[in-house]
Amino acid sequence: MAAPKHTKSVGWVLHLGKVEFDRVLGWQRGLVKLRREGMARDTIILVEHPPVVTVGKNGHSENYKDLKEEPYFIERGGDVTYHGPGQLVAYFIFDLTRRNRDVHLFMSNIQQGVINALADFGIEAKKGDEYTGVWVEEKKIASIGVAIKKWISFHGVAVNLNTNLDEFNNINPCGLQSSIMTSVQEITNKKVDLGDFGDNLLGKYAELFHTVFYPVKLEEIAEDIESQAGGNVI
């Protein structure tokens, strides 16, 4: 049974800085197994990636046919997207059986957290009417793609803060024209500190998910994660 909404659950947050996508993907998979076994708490990972293109299970090859390098094909929903410097990515390893197995609410809260954080930076954003993600007028500022295995979630949302938007030009992000993408820097003409935005975003998620997220260091749980992370089967 889910905890009453007036109580606070306890979760973890991992602030990773800038880490390669494939390493973090392995850690996510390890945490999924640990969460399923009750050896980890609901966890948010905040991270920035070096440049990489990923394709979800709904990917269409025509949307990344101009790429010179092979993208990563992964389990999340959605099509093709880009991750890179200046973009904050939040991954959610949550046990949804403890959250009433309400996938719609879970996805809605992920988007709403970004909307609420952007408001504190002077940007009015909204959920997409036709397409998922977070939008500012007719431009997309955050992309969402989640996987759920036996009610444990992973993957999450990518928010364009100071992202070089030209990096989207070789793909059709989420099946859309690359010109649809925007960033906080493009809108405000100011650079955003990823740490400051991440702290703000985490506070919004604490409110929406009724959870206190305590920071843990990767080295404190690395051995457990690495022992579970081998292979793709989760």
Catalytic positions? 174
User: Nearest Cα to 106, choosing from 71, 153, 57, 161?
Assistant: 153
> Which residues, in sequence order, are CB contacts of 224 under 8 Å at separation 6+?
30, 34, 39, 40
Q: Which residues make beta-bridge pairs with 55?
A: 73, 80
**What span, in angstroms and rounded, lies between the C-alpha atoms of 209 and 196?**
20
**What span, in angstroms and rounded, lies between the C-alpha atoms of 29 and 154?**
8
Helices (H) and strands (E) in the chain, counts: 5, 11
Contact predicate 184/123, CB 8 Å? yes
Q: Look at the block and give the residue holding tokens 């009610």.
A: 151
**What span, in angstroms and rounded, lies between the C-alpha atoms of 157 and 160?**
10
Cα distance between the two ends of the chain: 24
